Amino acid sequence: MQTLPFLQENIDITALSGYKTRAFARYYFEVRDRDDVEKLSEIFLFASENSLPFLILGGGKNCLFAFHTYPGVIVKNMLNQWEYDIDTHMLRTDSDAEIWQIAETLENKYDAPIWHRFIGLPGSIGGAIYGNAGCFGLETGGNFSSAEVLDLESGEILTLSKEDMHFWYRNSFIKETRSTRKFFIISARFDLGKVVEKYPSDADVRFFRDTKQPKWNTCGSFFQNPSPDNTAGFLIESVWLRGFHLGTASFSDVHANFLMSETDGKWQNLIELITLAQERVRREHGIELIPEVQIIQA
């Protein structure tokens, strides 16, 4: 197979997923500037022609690597510049800027606490748009104005509006169409003139993140909540898996729906524990637990 000169091979990507399980990429590319963005369609074509899987990574805080070596191309986004116009309240940000870091700086430097509730929300703007990440009544789609997006197949750069993006609960047009179309989110604009919320909240977000959520090797809540009355955390606890360890994997005793991995943990243990929780909840409650975190398979 004729490879591309700018693709790196057999790169260690252990640090790029929230669980930090040991993993490698057969092909790897970092997007550092606009010239790199222009190479992405060629890389995508290379992957398609050689039947190789293709994955874009932001912060990796929503991806479980269920493999030792990813057989295709991992594209790691590194575009992370952003600016805020204090007069127009417009935020323009590259897609790999971290949403919590923007929220904190808006508050501390610009006295603009409009994204206060996003303080402590891990991951990049691109990942947050993809899954319409949210917490405490705010969602990424709320203040979203537009995004500059590369259609990887055609090489065309599109500007997608809020309507085009079709945000709903933890979902967007980009996520919805992932099996048929592939897009790379380059940058986005947000109108931060006023709070756009699903519901009001004056939660102490720093206290909540510090005391009610475990840190380190995790991607946060693993399963979707089947309903507000039957949360995944409640169901996991009800089948005696809160704080349960299986090899190097565990469900946290601080928050039962937080799947955790030890340092040098094995992805196989994570999958075994996920399967065990699904089987027990299905048997005891007749409910199918569906992962919120993406399980990336080889």
Ligand X SMILES: Cc1cc2nc3c(=O)[nH]c(=O)nc-3n(C[C@H](O)[C@H](O)[C@H](O)COP(=O)(O)OP(=O)(O)OC[C@H]3O[C@@H](n4cnc5c(N)ncnc54)[C@H](O)[C@@H]3O)c2cc1C
Strand partners, 168: 171
Residues 209-238 that bind ligand X (CB under 6 A): 213, 218-220
Residue among 37, 66, 185, 241 that touches ligand X (CB under 6 A):
185
Residues 5-64 that bind ligand X (CB under 6 A): 18, 55-63
DSSP output for the chain = ----TT-EEEEE-GGGSTT----EEEEEEEE-SHHHHHHHHHHHHHHHHTT--EEEESS-TTEEEE-SEEEEEEEEE----EEEETTTTEEEEETTSBHHHHHHHHHHHH--GGGGGGTT--SBHHHHHHTT-EETTEETTTSEEEEEEEETTT--EEEEEHHHHT-BTTB-HHHHTTTT--EEEEEEEEE-SS--BSS-----HHHHHHHTS--SSEEEE-BPPS-SSS-HHHHHHHTT-TT-EETTEEE-SSSTTEEEE-TT--HHHHHHHHHHHHHHHHHHH-----BSSEEEE-
- Say if residues 161 and 146 touch (Cβ distance below 8 Å): yes
Query: Does 95 participate in binding ligand X (rule CB under 6 A)?
Result: yes
Give the residue with the Cβ less far from ligand X, 135 or 285.
135
Q: Catalytic site residue 292? A: yes
Selected catalytic residue, list 170, 189, 209, 280: 170
Query: Does 265 participate in binding ligand X (rule CB under 6 A)?
Result: no
**Bridging pattern class, strands 82-85 and 183-191:** unpaired
Give the residue with the Cβ less far from ligand X, 38 or 284.
38
Binding segment for ligand X among 177-185, 225-233, 260-268, 272-280 (CB under 6 A)?
A: 177-185
Give the residue with the Cβ less far from ligand X, 179 or 227.
179
Strand partners, 82: 93
Give the residue with the Cβ less far from ligand X, 5 or 199.
199
Residues 6+ apart with CB under 8 A from 180: none
> In whole angstroms, how close is the CB of 2 to ligand X at the nearest point?
26
Binding segment for ligand X among 19-27, 41-49, 101-109, 126-134 (CB under 6 A)?
A: 126-134
Q: Catalytic site residue 237? A: no
> In whole angstroms, how close is the CB of 87 to ligand X at the nearest point?
28
Query: Does 142 participate in binding ligand X (rule CB under 6 A)?
Result: no
Query: Does 131 participate in binding ligand X (rule CB under 6 A)?
Result: yes
> In whole angstroms, how close is the CB of 286 to ligand X at the nearest point?
27
Give the residue with the Cβ less far from ligand X, 88 or 297.
297
Q: Catalytic site residue 170? A: yes
Interface size with ligand X, residues (CB under 6 A): 33
Selected catalytic residue, list 95, 146, 172, 221: 221
Residue among 73, 128, 259, 270 that touches ligand X (CB under 6 A):
128
Query: Does 141 participate in binding ligand X (rule CB under 6 A)?
Result: no
Binding residues for ligand X, rule: CB under 6 A, are: 18, 55-63, 77, 95, 121-124, 126-128, 130-131, 133-135, 174, 183-185, 213, 218-220, 294
What residues are annotated to the active site? Answer: 170, 221, 292
